[in-house]
Amino acid sequence: MIPKDQIEKLQNSVDIVDVIGERIDLKRSGSNYKARCPFHDEKTPSFMVSQTKQIYKCFGCGVSGDSINFVMSYDNLSYPDAIRHLAARYGVEIVEEYSGRSVDKSHDDRKELFRILNKYACDFFHENLLKEINAGTSEVAEYLKKRKMGIDLVKKFRLGFAPDNWNMLKLDNRFSDQTEDILIEAGLRKKNEKGNVYDQFRNRLMFPIFDTIGNVAAFSGRSLRDEVQPKYLNSPETAVYKKNEILYGLFQAMETIRKTREIILVEGNIDIITMHKFGFTSTVAICGTAFTENHARLIKRNCDKITILLDGDEAGKKSALKTAEILAEVGMVPGVVILPGASDPDSYLYSTGKEAMEKLLSCPLNIIDLVIQLHGGNKTTANEKAYLAKELIASISRIKDPVLLDVYSKEASEKSGVDLSIIKKEISNRSPDRSKKAKLSAETTLYCINPEDPVEFTVIYIMLTDESSRIKFISLLTADDFKNAEASKMFSSIYELYEEGEDIKLANILVDFDQKFKDFMIGFVFELEEAFFSVRNGEKDISPEKFEKAFGDSMKKIKLRNLGQKMNKLREELKYSDSSESQDEILKKMAALKTVQGELINGKN
């Protein structure tokens, strides 16, 4: 477990602008930073980052949070892993608490355990392979020789060898004290119908699959003989491995991708390794599954240019089109290279060399050309033209980016000979309505139910932002003055931090709240930020008068409201009072309240 004070320590040491700026392109915009949202498709930026408040919010799709939340979503990590990753990246030492060997392991502890077991398994397979290579004559060493995979590649991809044995892994001392259940759940052992348990991978060349930050998430094992099926045996999905959230080789390609912002996508594990060998070090592969929108988003987050490189057979072409369509759906402009004949990247590179591949990659097809090629080139008869036009419309109607859609519609019209207006009409008939904005108002209605709620949250905002107003509010209000439960809780947190002389930071205070409330509060803060700050020469200009006035206004509103509530209570008491003495008493109190009310409304006090 990571204690709260350690999370606060981390929040105080990292700057959200660095964390996000390292991953996407941030541009200064007035007092905030702006970017195109990495979590939804958009042309104009609606993703805002506030350096002063250390939070982000997308006004297009509604996501919001702090540095930790961003790393969780962007790098696909659990909350504790995101904290650990940030701490390691920025050199912040975090002391974790271990509750001993608890039987009821939490989900995150289990993930941690699986990563450790995968790391051990990766080492175990790798050590075995090095032994086999040194021995020189084994089947796997022969296989590597045949595939021309040298020791440098073996090391770069940490390739391994699963011995031809049912229990070798289990007998290794790194695994011997783990229960069978854990090893089965981690995907390293397997149980058959008879209840016998054995090593999942046997006599296979092992390809460890890393996540983006270098943890071993899973394995893909290739059989050494073609008659042994399946050719590739992959780990089952586990707590740390979701097939459609991982690309094989992305971790190894990341160094190049960060520089070039380009990715080449291939299909096979061997292809990717050969591509790297020939210098195409930004190559990644889909591992043993269909290409999904999650893969597409993972690619989009990491690069600006994507080239799909697939085999020249019918299956390769069809899968290229599907992949291109999914990439277009998330707003990318995929280029497609189909290899000639029946070659795959591996065989093509060995038979024709690096320059030929470079030449192919330099002139990829776009989606329209690909559809036309799939249908055997340009058509002459009316029927054929109409058919082709329909296929083109089906593919390009999946493009969500309006500019791209326009360009491709024109090209489709030219190449099919069908009038542009008809193509556009067909496309609009197919496009589903997309409105993502509803989410924002849903949060607001969730937390701003009563008319006075916005005032209370405004007070909280001022307390977070302006020190002199904060001190005044703390001296004049208590948590009970807030009728909204969340506002009251936030007030208490601010009060506590103030008493302890700690920094008062939104991110630290929000740690105690659930994500829905965080979303609401962060949106609220961004809105008020616009209202309270003016921007001059790109610098935030705090205007003390605005806070002074806001302080006065909100105090007045809260006091008036509380007076009104007291007044209502007295009225109730009056209704049920049975002695004239007590009635007099109540009426006196009410008169006094009225006076205070009048003074407040007329601006005294």
Name the residue nearer to Zn ion (CB basis): 60 or 221. 60
- Could you say whether residue 57 binds Zn ion (CB under 5 A)? no
* Closest distance of CB 124 from Zn ion, Å: 42
Let me know how long the chain is.
605
- Could you say whether residue 39 binds Zn ion (CB under 5 A)? yes
- Could you say whether residue 37 binds Zn ion (CB under 5 A)? yes
- Could you say whether residue 372 binds Zn ion (CB under 5 A)? no
* Closest distance of CB 46 from Zn ion, Å: 7
Region from 38-46, 229-237, 245-253, 558-566 binding Zn ion, contact rule CB under 5 A: 38-46
- Annotate 272-304 with b (16+ C-beta within 10 A) or e (fewer): bbbbbbbebbbbbbbbbeebeebbbbbbbbbbe
The C-alpha angle 319, 323, 324, rounded to 5 degrees, equals 115
Region from 58-66, 110-118, 125-133, 151-159 binding Zn ion, contact rule CB under 5 A: 58-66
- Could you say whether residue 65 binds Zn ion (CB under 5 A)? no
Rounding to the nearest 10 degrees, give the CA dihedral for residues 269, 270, 272, 273.
120
Could you give the C-alpha distances from 30 to 464, 519, 528, 534, 542, in angstroms and in order? Answer: 20, 22, 14, 9, 13
- Could you say whether residue 300 binds Zn ion (CB under 5 A)? no
Could you give the C-alpha distances from 326 to 153, 295, 345, 399, 401, in angstroms and in order? Answer: 31, 9, 22, 9, 13
Structure tokens at 531: 């209202």
Region from 59-67, 152-160, 235-243, 536-544 binding Zn ion, contact rule CB under 5 A: 59-67
Region from 57-65, 145-153, 396-404, 529-537 binding Zn ion, contact rule CB under 5 A: 57-65
Backbone phi, psi, residue 286, to 5°: -80, 135
Name the residue nearer to Zn ion (CB basis): 39 or 79. 39
Name the residue nearer to Zn ion (CB basis): 39 or 166. 39
Region from 60-68, 138-146, 174-182, 535-543 binding Zn ion, contact rule CB under 5 A: 60-68
- Among positions 58, 265, 303, 306, the unique one binding Zn ion when judged by CB under 5 A: 58
Region from 54-62, 126-134, 204-212, 363-371 binding Zn ion, contact rule CB under 5 A: 54-62
Name the residue nearer to Zn ion (CB basis): 39 or 90. 39
* Closest distance of CB 436 from Zn ion, Å: 8
- Could you say whether residue 61 binds Zn ion (CB under 5 A)? yes
CA distance 486 to 509: 11
Structure tokens at 153: 């590649």
- Could you say whether residue 522 binds Zn ion (CB under 5 A)? no
Name the residue nearer to Zn ion (CB basis): 64 or 281. 64
Q: How many CB atoms lie within 10 A of CB 227?
A: 5
CA distance 403 to 406: 5
Residue type, 566: K
- Among positions 36, 40, 204, 505, the unique one binding Zn ion when judged by CB under 5 A: 40
Name the residue nearer to Zn ion (CB basis): 58 or 388. 58
* Closest distance of CB 69 from Zn ion, Å: 13
- Could you say whether residue 371 binds Zn ion (CB under 5 A)? no
What is the chain's Cα-based Rg? 31
Region from 52-60, 71-79, 152-160, 477-485 binding Zn ion, contact rule CB under 5 A: 52-60
- Could you say whether residue 49 binds Zn ion (CB under 5 A)? no
Region from 18-26, 55-63, 205-213, 574-582 binding Zn ion, contact rule CB under 5 A: 55-63
| Contact by Cβ (8 Å): 59, 440 | yes
Q: Cis ω on the peptide bond leading into residue 230 (within 30° of 0)?
A: yes
| Contact by Cβ (8 Å): 285, 272 | yes
| Contact by Cβ (8 Å): 13, 90 | yes
Q: Find, among 438, 336, 345, the residue nearest to 395 by Cα.
A: 336
Rounding to the nearest 10 degrees, give the CA dihedral for residues 182, 185, 187, 189.
50
Name the residue nearer to Zn ion (CB basis): 48 or 273. 48
- Could you say whether residue 60 binds Zn ion (CB under 5 A)? yes
* Closest distance of CB 494 from Zn ion, Å: 29
CA distance 199 to 219: 13
The upper half-sphere exposure of residue 559, i.e. CA atoms within 13 Å in the direction of its Cβ, equals 20
* Closest distance of CB 62 from Zn ion, Å: 7
* Closest distance of CB 255 from Zn ion, Å: 28
Name the residue nearer to Zn ion (CB basis): 37 or 169. 37
* Closest distance of CB 298 from Zn ion, Å: 16
* Closest distance of CB 37 from Zn ion, Å: 3
Q: What is the 3-state secondary structure (H, E, C) of 32-59?
A: EEEECCCCCCCCCCCEEEECCCCEEEEC
Name the residue nearer to Zn ion (CB basis): 42 or 529. 42
558 Cβ contact list (under 8 Å, min separation 6): 452, 455, 456, 459, 477, 481
19 Cβ contact list (under 8 Å, min separation 6): 67, 70, 71, 86
* Closest distance of CB 42 from Zn ion, Å: 7
Region from 35-43, 280-288, 405-413, 464-472 binding Zn ion, contact rule CB under 5 A: 35-43
* Closest distance of CB 77 from Zn ion, Å: 19
Name the residue nearer to Zn ion (CB basis): 49 or 162. 49
| Contact by Cβ (8 Å): 447, 453 | yes
| Contact by Cβ (8 Å): 170, 176 | yes
* Closest distance of CB 439 from Zn ion, Å: 10
* Closest distance of CB 270 from Zn ion, Å: 37
Chain residues that interact with Zn ion, rule: CB under 5 A: 37, 39-40, 58, 60-61
